[in-house]
């Protein structure tokens, strides 16, 4: 199983999974199978559950574990599965982390609490988190200022990575973030810090440029995950233009799904239309699509298809 743990060389596309609910708002465990198959069919290299876009904060403690257990059973080791465990209480965070590691998790993802501000506060927090987890739990550092209001500079990330050996990966979703990526990779190139894996989020909005700057892949939940896979593959194969051509075909939709808040409703609606989940239900408080939103979506998806045809034709 340890072959499945994330490490400092992990590459590719780790999809951020939604959490499927039924129309009445209860966990939809039936859809876990179709959803995981959908992600695997798209060619993802790993799956991340209970992230922010997995509505983790709206699940009960017991529900989180039931959903996680179901995912691990369904995926059955075909790809690594990492788990978001961010929580206002350190004890809760550690408790969930230990439970999912026992289920076979590849690692856990932790975002800084939104009350943290200074480098010293953030470093103290992750030091406490890692001590609580124990050194054999691989950690993914989530750097998402738009959602957390917490900013982590490259020197701070360098320090966290040096001080806390179990940090294996950065989920990079600072915005703007390209020069941050470059700074982090330059520190490694100069030998001043060990390497970490860096996968990028933000719905994939800057993926080609991020790969140029040294990202190892993507960790996001765009509703057409096959795009992320193809772009990363083409880029890895050195076909930079093809990577960007594919990306650009989807970009109007990527940009549309990247709207804060509302994006999750688009994502679940698209996954529902594509057969991945039985219901597009988003738990309250959460966004709902209007009729006009539906029309936008029809049109944007239709245009993506037409452009892909032209590209392939």
Binding of a copy of itself by 235 (CB under 8 A): no
Cβ nearer to a copy of itself, comparing 74 with 289: 289
**Does 213 participate in binding a copy of itself (rule CB under 8 A)?**
yes
Instruction: Find the shortest distance in angstroms from Cβ 140 to a copy of itself.
Output: 19
**Which residues inside 98-157 make contact with a copy of itself, applying CB under 8 A?**
113-114, 117-121, 125, 128, 132, 145, 150-156
Q: How far is the CB of 174 from a copy of itself (least distance, A)?
A: 10
294 is in an annotated binding site: no
Q: How far apart are CA 263 and CA 217, in angstroms?
A: 21
- Our CB check for a copy of itself shows the closer of 46 and 208 to be 208
| Size of the residue set binding a copy of itself (CB under 8 A) | 62
Least distance from a copy of itself to the Cβ atom of residue 11, Å: 21
- Taking Cα atoms as reference points, which of 49, 31, 39 lies closest to residue 13? 39
Buried b (16+ CB within 10 A) or exposed e, 173-200: bbeebbebbeebbebbeeeebebbbbbb
Residues 55-94: x where in contact with a copy of itself by CB under 8 A, - otherwise, as a string: x-xxxxxx-------------------------xxxxx--
Cis geometry, peptide bond prior to residue 137 (ω within 30 degrees of 0): no
Q: Are 77 and 67 in contact (CB under 8 A)?
A: no
Instruction: Out of 7, 166, 259, 279, name the contact with a copy of itself by CB under 8 A.
Output: 259
One residue of 102, 136, 190, 292 binding a copy of itself per CB under 8 A = 292
Binding footprint of a copy of itself on the chain (CB under 8 A): 25, 55, 57-62, 88-92, 95, 113-114, 117-121, 125, 128, 132, 145, 150-156, 175-176, 178-179, 182, 205-206, 209, 212-213, 244, 248, 251-252, 255-256, 259-263, 283-285, 290, 292-293, 296, 303, 307
């Amino acid at each position: 199983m340890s072959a499945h743990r994330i490490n400092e060389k992990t590459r590719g596309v780790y999809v951020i999974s939604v959490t499927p609910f039924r129309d009445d708002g209860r966990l939809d465990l039936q859809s876990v199978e179709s959803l995981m198959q959908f992600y695997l069919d798209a060619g993802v290299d790993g799956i991340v559950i209970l992230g922010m876009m997995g509505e983790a904060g709206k699940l009960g403690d017991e529900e989180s574990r039931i959903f996680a257990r179901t995912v691990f059973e369904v995926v059955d080791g075909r790809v690594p599965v990492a788990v978001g465990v961010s929580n206002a209480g350190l004890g809760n965070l550690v408790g969930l982390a230990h439970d999912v590691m026992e289920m076979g998790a590849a690692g856990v993802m932790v975002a800084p609490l939104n009350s943290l501000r200074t480098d010293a506060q953030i470093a103290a927090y992750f030091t406490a988190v890692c001590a609580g987890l124990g050194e054999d739990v691989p950690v993914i550092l989530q750097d998402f200022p738009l959602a957390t209001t917490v900013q982590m500079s490259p020197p701070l990330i360098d320090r966290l990575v040096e001080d806390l050996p179990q940090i294996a990966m950065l989920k990079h979703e600072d915005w703007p973030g390209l020069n941050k990526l470059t700074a982090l990779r330059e520190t490694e190139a100069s030998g001043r810090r060990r390497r970490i894996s860096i996968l990028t989020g933000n719905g994939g909005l800057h993926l080609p440029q991020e790969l140029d700057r040294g990202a190892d892949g993507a960790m996001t939940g765009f509703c057409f995950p096959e795009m992320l896979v193809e772009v990363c593959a083409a880029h890895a194969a050195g076909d930079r233009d093809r990577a960007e051509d594919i990306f650009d075909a989807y970009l109007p939709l990527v940009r549309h799904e990247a709207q804060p808040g509302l994006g999750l409703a688009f994502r679940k609606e698209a996954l529902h239309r594509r057969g991945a989940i039985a219901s597009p239900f988003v738990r309250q408080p959460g966004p709902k699509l209007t009729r006009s939103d539906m029309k936008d979506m029809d049109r944007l998806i239709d245009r993506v298809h037409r452009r892909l045809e032209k590209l392939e034709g």
